[in-house]
Amino acid sequence: MSHTLEYLEGMARQHAIQAVRFDKEGKYDDAIKHYKKVVDLLKKIISLYPDNGLNSVYRQWIKEYEKRIKDLESLKLAATSNASMVESDDVVEDVVLKDKPGIKFNDIADLEEAKEAIREAIIYPTKRPDLFPLGWHRGILLFGPPGCGKTLLAAAIATEVDGVFIHLDAATIMSKWLGEAEKNVAKIFKKARELSMSGRPVIIFIDEVDSLLGVFSNEVGGEVRVRNQFLKEMDGVLDKSFKYLVYVIAATNKPWRLDDAFIRRFQKRIYVPLPNREARLELLKLYTNGLKLSDDVDLDKLAETLDGYTSSDIRDIVMATHLRAVKELFEKYGGVGEPRRITMDDFMEVIRSRKPSVTKELVKVYESWYEKFKAV
Ligand SMILES: Nc1ncnc2c1ncn2[C@@H]1O[C@H](COP(=O)(O)OP(=O)(O)O)[C@@H](O)[C@H]1O
Ligand SMILES: [Mg+2]
């Protein structure tokens, strides 16, 4: 008996629907069984109908389903090996920062507005909650082009606020936690609430927060739930009747990937822009401090030249410039002695070979996003 193409496709579709349903319900064994059926059926279609136009799509699906099967199998393993331990708290342990990074506001060039906003929203209320009878913002979003100090600011908050700092990197946790992400998000917020009851502020910092939302349009694993869990937890933190100090600070280079429901929960939105001229001068001083500069090096002029570059570009440029002198020392003098002083020409050579990592157009996109969501 030979099956028709349509019949096989119909079967594959039905098993896929079942598989995703079981997957969402956390019934891994059943999900795996059905995913395997789908893979078998798709392979059968490809071998029986080699000229079928959809085969390249099916090959892609086979890959995705096979990956999901593997993921689920490792989840199952993890679940059985943990079964004897009562509720391991490892996920939470992993993300609570034990050693403060030691970065202070003063180590960060400029960003005065952002620092001021953070002082008002976090530092003052945690020191004197009695002065804020009307409450304070508990959801803060830092956004702006990459390499301008968002992660750095968050690190400084950990140092400046005497409290518990929980650091989550959304991109990493989403890939590391696989199907556990939703549960782990819930665990972390639960722990944060518990810790805050001792009276110390608890800050949950979520870096690259757009990863919580963006990547998982892929319905195979049904990870949309992570986003919903997160929104629910945010509501708990924002609830007026919850009187402890729990803050959620999120950072993103791609604010336009966040949806309205998400944005609404971050009432304080702080733009972390490209460094202006003064900030660039400050950065140059910061990073050349400790390097030997020739007398012709004019930092003011460099600050002007570096218009459009990010803070992290400027750090890279200073490093590359210094490296020229070091390299010369090795190439000409076998690495003996001290490198020569770095000159204005060294800087200009390096700058010529490097474009700003962010375009002017992209900067406009950040600015118009800010305009649009300022008042929402
Ligand atoms: N305002 C700043 N002052 C000093 N260094 C900065 C500043 N902004 C960025 N940098 C440098 O660039 C690197 C990357 O910055 P980061 O905070 O990770 O950027 P973002 O999180 O906005 O992408 C930092 O580790 C630091 O070396
Ligand atoms: Mg960052």
The per-residue pLDDT for range 254-313, each reduced to its tens digit, is: 999 888 888 999 989 999 999 999 999 999 999 999 899 999 999 999 999 999 999 999
Cα separation of the two ends of the chain: 63
Q: Quick one: which atom of ligand 1 is closest to the CA of 108?
A: 3
Six-digit token string for 28: 């891994």
Give the tens place of pLDDT for each residue, 257-272. Answer: 888 888 999 989 999 9
Q: Which two tokens stand for residue 1?
A: 């008996």
The domains found in the chain, sorted by start residue, are: 5-82 (1.20.58.80), 90-274 (3.40.50.300), 277-357 (1.10.8.60)
Q: Which ligand is nearest to the CA of 153?
A: 1
26 lines ligand 1 (CB under 6 A): no
Task: Please give the average per-residue pLDDT across 22-29, as a whole number.
Answer: 83
**Helices assigned H by DSSP within 143-266:** 150-160, 170-177, 181-196, 224-238, 260-264
83-109 residue pLDDT tens:
434 344 677 777 787 777 788 999 899
Q: What angle do CA 112, 113, 118 make, to 5 degrees?
A: 95
Element counts in the chain: helices (H) and strands (E) = 16, 5
Supply the residue whose CA is at minimum distance from atom 14 of ligand 1.
147
Handedness of CA 94, 214, 370, 262 (dihedral sign): negative
From ligand 2's centre to the CA of 339, what distance in Å? 33
Atom of ligand 1 nearest to the CA of 109: 3
Query: Is 221 a residue whose pLDDT tops 80?
Result: no
Sequence-ordered alpha helix ranges (H) in 267-310: 277-288, 299-305
Contact 208/169 with Cβ under 8 angstroms? yes
Question: Does 315 sit in the ligand 1 pocket, CB within 6 Å?
Answer: yes
3-state secondary structure of 18: helix
State the sign of the Cα–Cα–Cα–Cα dihedral 16, 21, 22, 23. positive
Q: Is the CB of 118 under 6 A from ligand 1?
A: no
Q: H/E element holding 72?
A: helix 55-82
User: Bridge-partner residues for 168, per DSSP?
Assistant: 206
Whether the pLDDT of residue 81 is over 70: the answer is: no
- Higher-pLDDT residue of 216 and 98 is 98
Indicate if the pLDDT at residue 194 is higher than 50: yes
Report the SS3 class of residue 182: helix
At residue 218's C-alpha, the angle toward residues 217 and 223, to 5°, is 80
